[in-house]
Amino acid sequence: MGIETGIDFDHPRPRLDQLIQWGSAVLAGAFVLCALASVLIALVFGLPLMVIGALFALGLAGAALLPTTAAPAVTLTERDLITRSRIWGRHAAPWSAVEMLKSYPLLPPAGAEVMRRALVGQNRYRPAEGVLIAVRTLPFPYRIHGWFAGEGFTPAIALTNRAHQDYDRLIDAVMRQTQRKSAPLLSN
């Protein structure tokens, strides 16, 4: 019933993933600095409306962090699901903390990728597929992703065919490990 020990599911293009994650972290840092500068300007010059700009910049910082938490590389073991983010590091969650939720809502719908289909080619194109899962023991940054994915502040990650090699095998292993054999969840 279990899985093989230590199966890694990495990003198909690791250098691109690294560039996106570090770029997102730098952008988020810039937004936080803008928020601090806005608060400083508000205090020094008595411009209370600058606080609204600070709140807006903090919201953008959260959105900029989304690529760092959305679909990290994962390792599956008999006991744990291990997330491996370049920014947030490794976090092991016992399978009892993993809940399969639903189809990933932040993926583009099948008919919306006209340009991607044209660039990749009709024969090589595969529609985006993914599953959003809640992992209760993940740290705060993963709560940002849960919020953007419509799950409140529940820590969540996505497993997608665009961000993980051997996606079908990954989903099969996760479904077996969480003992959820029914697939209606994936067809939403």
Q: What is the pLDDT of residues 24-75, one digit of tens each?
A: 999 999 999 999 999 999 999 989 889 999 999 999 999 999 999 999 999 9
CA distance 15 to 29: 21
- The distance of Cα 89 from the centroid of its chain, to the nearest Å, equals 14
- pTM of the entire structure? 0.84
DSSP secondary structure, 45-93, as one string: HT-TTHHHHHHHHHHHHHHHHHHHHSS-EEEE-SSEEEEEETTTEEEEE
Q: How many CB atoms lie within 10 A of CB 96?
A: 10
Q: What is the pLDDT of residues 155-185, one digit of tens each?
A: 999 999 999 999 999 999 998 888 753 344 4
What pLDDT does 5 receive? 58
CA distance 25 to 64: 7
What pLDDT does 101 receive? 77
Short-list 69, 151, 169, 167, CA closest to 105: 151
Instruction: Give the angle 71-25-174 at the CA atoms, nearest 5°.
Output: 15
Burial of 110 (0-12, 13-18, 19+ CB in 10 A): exposed
**Cα dihedral 51/53/58/60 (nearest 10):** 170
Q: 1-15, 66-80, 95-109, 149-163: which has the minimum mean pLDDT? A: 1-15
Q: How many CB atoms lie within 10 A of CB 161?
A: 18
Look at the alpha carbons of 131, 136, 142, 147 in this order and tell me if their dihedral is positive or negative.
positive
CA distance 106 to 151: 12
Burial of 182 (0-12, 13-18, 19+ CB in 10 A): exposed
